[in-house]
C-alpha cells in the first residue's frame, strides 16, 4: 500500500514563500541540534542484525568431530565430488523455491556469485550453443527500476548496456518488457526480484509472472534472471505475498529454458555462511554442468549438510523466519510510523509499507534525493547512496531513497528515522523555495 497520508498538517506545496522561509528556519534549528549529537547511525545496507544472526547459533552445534558426515546417498561430505549438491540439500533448496529437486544445482554461499558466473559464462561461452555475448556488437539487459544495485554492477562490469524498465504496483511494466524482448535481439536478459522486491517490497502479480513466461524473445539466448532473494522473508504470519512458480509457468508456456532462478539462505542462516542454489531447466543445467568441472571439484557439502540437519525442511525454515519477523516487524512499523506522523499530508514524499523483504523505498520530491542523503550523512546517518537503485547509479528524477531498517537497534533506528524526516523536510523546503 502506497502512503501519502492525510493529515492536519499543511502541504508544503501550498505554503507561501514567507511560510516556507519560516519553516526552513525552524528545520535548520532542529537539524543543527541533531548535528551537535555527533551520532554515527547506519541505514545503508540490508544486513541482518546481530539479534537475527544469534537465532541460528544452534546450527553450529549440529555437526561436530563425532558426527556422521555422510549424506543420505552415502557421499562423504568431507571429500571432493557431489557436484550438484547432496540430495537432501537439493531437496531443501527446491522446497524454498517451490521447484523440483532435479531442477536444482546447489552452489556455495552466495547467489550473487552464481549470477555473476552465469553472466560471465554467457559472455565467454554463450548460452546453450549460442554465440558468446562478447563476440556480439551489442548486448543489452532490461533493468526494472528502482532495483538491486548489485545486479546492475554485474552487467555494468561486463559492459552490457542497461535499459530502465519502470516498476508498477504489480511488477515491471510488461508492455515495455514485451516490446523490447520481442523487437530487439540484442536484449539478452532481464533482472528480476519477484517477491518483496529490492527496494520497494513489491511482489509480482500472477498476470506479470504469466506474461514473463509467455515472452517471445527475438534472441534465442534471452534469459530471465529471477533472483528470488526474499522468497521466505515475510514480516507477518497471517498476511503474506505469494508468487507463481516461474519455472512451471515457463514450461506451460512452451519456454522451459528461458529462466534462471536464484536463491540462498544468506539472510536465513548466516551472511557469507549460507547455501545458494540455481534452479533451471534440464537443458540449461546440463550446459552449466559441463563447465562445473573446470571451475570447481565440488562446493562445501559439509555446510549443505549442516543446514539440512538444522532446518530439516521448509517447516523448520518457516519457524526460523517467523522468529526473524518478530525482530524485523517492529523496526519496519516504527519507521513507517515516523514517516506517517512527520511527513503525512505534507506532499513531499511517498512510500510503500511492504509485507516482507529488507527495505522501505521512499520517493522524495524530484531533485531532492541527493540532497537528503548528503544532509543525513552530515547529521550522522548513513543511507544508501542516492541513485544506487538505478543502472549506472543515475536516478533520472533524483527522488528514490532506499531505507534499510534491519541492522540498527530500535533505539538507533528511531533516531535515524527522526533525522531522516528532518532532512526530507529541509531539502524539500529548499527545493520549493527555488521556484517561489
DSSP 57-115: GGGGGS--TTS--B-TT--BTTSS--TT--HHHHHHHHHHHTS-GGGEEE-SS-HHHHH
Task: Determine the pLDDT at residue 3.
Answer: 53
CB-based burial label for 227 (10 Å; 0-12, 13-18, 19+) = buried
pLDDT band at 291 (very low <50, low <70, confident <90, very high): confident
- State yes or no: pLDDT of 2 exceeds 60: no
Task: Determine the pLDDT at residue 10.
Answer: 81
pLDDT band at 292 (very low <50, low <70, confident <90, very high): confident
Task: Determine the pLDDT at residue 390.
Answer: 98
Q: Is the Cα dihedral 419, 424, 425, 431 positive or negative?
A: positive
Q: Does domain 2-53+318-433 have CATH number 3.40.50.2000?
A: no
- State yes or no: pLDDT of 199 exceeds 60: yes
Spell out the CATH class of 69-312.
alpha beta
Give the mean pLDDT of 252-273: 97
Which among 243, 247, 242, 269 is positioned nearest to 258, based on CA atoms? 247
Task: Determine the pLDDT at residue 4.
Answer: 47
Give the mean pLDDT of 73-81: 95
- State yes or no: pLDDT of 120 exceeds 70: yes
Is the pTM higher than 0.85? The answer reads yes
Task: Determine the pLDDT at residue 412.
Answer: 97
Domain boundaries, the chain: 2-53+318-433, 69-312
Place of cell 550453443: 129
Number of other residues whose CB lies within 10 A of the CB of residue 258: 26
Give the mean pLDDT of 285-300: 91
**C-alpha cell at position 66:** 563425532
Amino acid at each position: 500500500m502506497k502512503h501519502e497520508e492525510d493529515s492536519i498538517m499543511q502541504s508544503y506545496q501550498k505554503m507561501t514563500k514567507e511560510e516556507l522561509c519560516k519553516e526552513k528556519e525552524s528545520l535548520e534549528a532542529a537539524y543543527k541540534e541533531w548535528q551537535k549529537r555527533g551520532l554515527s547511525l547506519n541505514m545503508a545496507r540490508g544486513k541482518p542484525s546481530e539479534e537475527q544472526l544469534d537465532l541460528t547459533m544452534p546450527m553450529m552445534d549440529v555437526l561436530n568431530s563425532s558426527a556422521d558426515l555422510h549424506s543420505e546417498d552415502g557421499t562423504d561430505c568431507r571429500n571432493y565430488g557431489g557436484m550438484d549438491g547432496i540430495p537432501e540439500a537439493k531437496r531443501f533448496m527446491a522446497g524454498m523455491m517451490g521447484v523440483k529437486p532435479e531442477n536444482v544445482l546447489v552452489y556455495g554461499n552466495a547467489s550473487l556469485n552464481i549470477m555473476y558466473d552465469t553472466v560471465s559464462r554467457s559472455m565467454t561461452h554463450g548460452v546453450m550453443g549460442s554465440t558468446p555475448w562478447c563476440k556480439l556488437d551489442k548486448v543489452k539487459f532490461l533493468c526494472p527500476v528502482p532495483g538491486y544495485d548489485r545486479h546492475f554492477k554485474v552487467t555494468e562490469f561486463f559492459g552490457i548496456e542497461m535499459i530502465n524498465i519502470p516498476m508498477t504496483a504489480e511488477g515491471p511494466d510488461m508492455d515495455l518488457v514485451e516490446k523490447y524482448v520481442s523487437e530487439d535481439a540484442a536484449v539478452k536478459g532481464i533482472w528480476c526480484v519477484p517477491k518483496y522486491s529490492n527496494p520497494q517490497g513489491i511482489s509480482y502479480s500472477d498476470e506479470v509472472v504469466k506474461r514473463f513466461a509467455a515472452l517471445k524473445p527475438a534472441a534465442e539466448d534471452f534469459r530471465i534472471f529471477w533472483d528470488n532473494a526474499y522468497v521466505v522473508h515475510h514480516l507477518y504470519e497471517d498476511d503474506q505475498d505469494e508468487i507463481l512458480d516461474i519455472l512451471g509457468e515457463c514450461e506451460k508456456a512452451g519456454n522451459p529454458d528461458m529462466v534462471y532462478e536464484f536463491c540462498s539462505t544468506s539472510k536465513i542462516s548466516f551472511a557469507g555462511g549460507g547455501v545458494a542454489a540455481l534452479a533451471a531447466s534440464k537443458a540449461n543445467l546440463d550446459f552449466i554442468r559441463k563447465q562445473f568441472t573446470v571451475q570447481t571439484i565440488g562446493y562445501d557439502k559439509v555446510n549443505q549438510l549442516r543446514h539440512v540437519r538444522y532446518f530439516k525442511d521448509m517447516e523448520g525454515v518457516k519457524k526460523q523466519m517467523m522468529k526473524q519477523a518478530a525482530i524485523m516487524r517492529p523496526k519496519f512499523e516504527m519507521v513507517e510510523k515516523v514517516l506517517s506522523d512527520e511527513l503525512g499530508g505534507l506532499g513531499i514524499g511517498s512510500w510503500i509499507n511492504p509485507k516482507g523483504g529488507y527495505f522501505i523505498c521512499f520517493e522524495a520530491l524530484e531533485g531532492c534525493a541527493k540532497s537528503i542523503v548528503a544532509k543525513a550523512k552530515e547529521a550522522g546517518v548513513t543511507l544508501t547512496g542516492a541513485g544506487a537503485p538505478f543502472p549506472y547509479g543515475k536516478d533520472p528524477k533524483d527522488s528514490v531513497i532506499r531505507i534499510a531498517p534491519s541492522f540498527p537497534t530500535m533505539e538507533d533506528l528511531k533516531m535515524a528515522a527522526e533525522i531522516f524526516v528532518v532532512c526530507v523536510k529541509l531539502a524539500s523546503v529548499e527545493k520549493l523555495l527555488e521556484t517561489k
